Amino acid sequence: MESIQAIKQRFGIIGNNPKLNRAVEKAIQVAPTDISVLVTGESGVGKESIPKIIHSLSHRKHGKSIAVNCGAIPEGTIDSELFGHEKGAFTGATQTRSGYFEVADGGTIFLDEVGELPLTTQVRLLRVLENGEFIKVGSSKMQKTDVRIVAATNVNMFEAIKKGRFREDLYYRLSTVEILLPPLRERKEDIHLLFRKFSSDFATKYKMPTIRLEDTAIALLEKYRWNGNIRQLRNVAEQISVLEQNRGIDVPTLHGYLPNIGTNLPAIISKEKKESDFSNEREILYKVLFDMKGDLNDLKKLTMELMQHGDSKQVQKDNEGLIQKIYKEEEEDLRFESTAANEPAEVLQINAPQLPPKEKEDDKYHFAEEIEEEETLSLHDKELELIKKSLERHRGKRKAAAEELGISERTLYRKIKQYDL
């Protein structure tokens, strides 16, 4: 068996991080078997190297090795790509086609971004893993295949299972052995090594001197978060190699090639917390709606009592608790209105308000209930006359006038503005 260092050199894997070495070691150990392997890690960490190691060290090394990017194939054609189709199976199927599982019989299939597979395709894949059987699209004939499946994903599979996007039974069949590749930010000792390798490669490719980093620039390089991992580091090395005339790179120069450096410091952000925050907001909204419904029911009850009883003060006394519950924020509203009108807030102190008006016609109706119709004046004129008399009697004190009229101070305030008193 080849050593870890020999395998890394053979497949161009750079670095001596313990987690990286452990991942390579596991790949070497499982290669001679037919165990299904799931390679996990963030995008850009180099997951495609592990299937190459496994295939080349297995007894299938003389068979075909096919890499399939599951996220790049449209959902409508992925079953045909993987399992093949019969002529006339769908529009455009002008001839019979062999799928990857048929072509790779006796070899290895690498399913990259396996977490993006549609649920219907996951069912077909599970059958292949269980007994090596599959059916072409548009066919009724069962076919057998002998392939070794190595899958890779950068998504949290447990979250995908929880949300119903990935089958739990398929996950456990794929991840008989799971190999985790660490992100670049956890391999700080390897960052400069990788950068030097990329710089050397690009210097050869573009026929120019190799760029060199100053010590302070190396420190910045290792401190950066590298959300895009090795792929992003390689991209930065290529940009600098091509664009910079001065081959000695200092901190200001390197800083210009590192996007959003202020927001790329290490941070722990819980996706669960974001989702739970949304869930909490939804629950709060439901509670507010239910409370509003309860308040409306209380208003209906209070309105009915006012309609049935002429004595509004007695209704107010009997329903004091209910009124306080409904209008506990009324005082703040009135104080705000008082301030806007440049009047002292104490003049508008609330005292167990009565039912607030929903519309102007409602107010007229309540006043009509309060007033004995001794004269043939219109409701409008009678209402205006009573408000004027009450305000004059109490020298403009709205609280006392509202109590006498049997209405809320807010209603009285609206009437004063309405009639321009």
pLDDT, tens digit (0-9, with 9 covering 90-100), for 129-143 = 999 999 999 999 999
Per-residue pLDDT band at 348 (split at 50, 70, 90): very low
pLDDT above 80 for 109: yes
pLDDT at 74 over 80: yes
Candidate from 126-130, 355-359, 398-402 with smallest mean pLDDT: 355-359
- Would the pLDDT of 126 be above 90? yes
Residues 56-83 have a mean pLDDT of 94
Least reliable range by pLDDT among 48-57, 343-352, 396-405 = 343-352
| Predicted local confidence at residue 108, as pLDDT | 97
Whether the Cβ atoms of residue 150 and residue 164 lie closer than 8 Å to each other:
no
pLDDT score for 279: 61
- Give the Å distances, CA to CA, from 205 to 10, 197, 403: 21, 12, 91
Of 117, 106, 112, residue with least CA distance to 67: 112
pLDDT at 329: 47
pLDDT in tens, 155-193: 999 999 999 999 999 999 999 999 999 999 999 999 999
Average pLDDT over residues 38-50: 95
Q: CATH 1.10.8.60 occupies which residues in the chain?
A: 185-263
149-153, 250-254, 283-287: least confidently modelled range: 283-287
> Mean pLDDT, to the nearest integer, of 358-382?
51
How high is the mean pLDDT of the chain? 82
4-182 is a CATH 3.90.110.10 domain: no
Q: Tokens in use for 286? A: 């439901």
CA dihedral (301, 303, 307, 313) positive or negative: positive
Q: Residue 246 and residue 240: Cα distance in Å, rounded?
A: 10
Fold that domain 185-263 belongs to in CATH: Helicase, Ruva Protein; domain 3 (1.10.8)
Report the amino acid identity of residue 185: R
pLDDT of residue 6: 94
What confidence score (pLDDT) does residue 269 get? 47
pLDDT score, position 411: 80
The more confident residue out of 205 and 355 is 205
Q: Residue 8's Cα: distance from chain center in Å?
A: 37
Q: Which pLDDT does position 178 carry in this prediction?
A: 96
User: Which residue from 105, 119, 101, 100 is spatially nearest to 170, judged by alpha carbons?
Assistant: 119
Residue 406 pLDDT grade (very low, low, confident, very high; cuts 50, 70, 90)? confident
Q: Is the overall model pTM greater than 0.85, yes or no?
A: no
The confidence score (pLDDT) of residue 67 equals 96
In this prediction, residue 364 carries a pLDDT of 47
Give start-end residues of each CATH 3.40.50.300 domain in the chain: 4-182
pLDDT of residue 275 exceeding 80, the answer is no
Tokens at 179, concatenated? 């190999």
Query: Rg of the Cα trace of the chain?
Result: 38
**pLDDT for the residue numbered 379:** 66
Q: Look at residue 339 and tell me whether its pLDDT is greater than 60.
A: no
Choice between 281 and 4, residue whose per-residue pLDDT is larger = 4
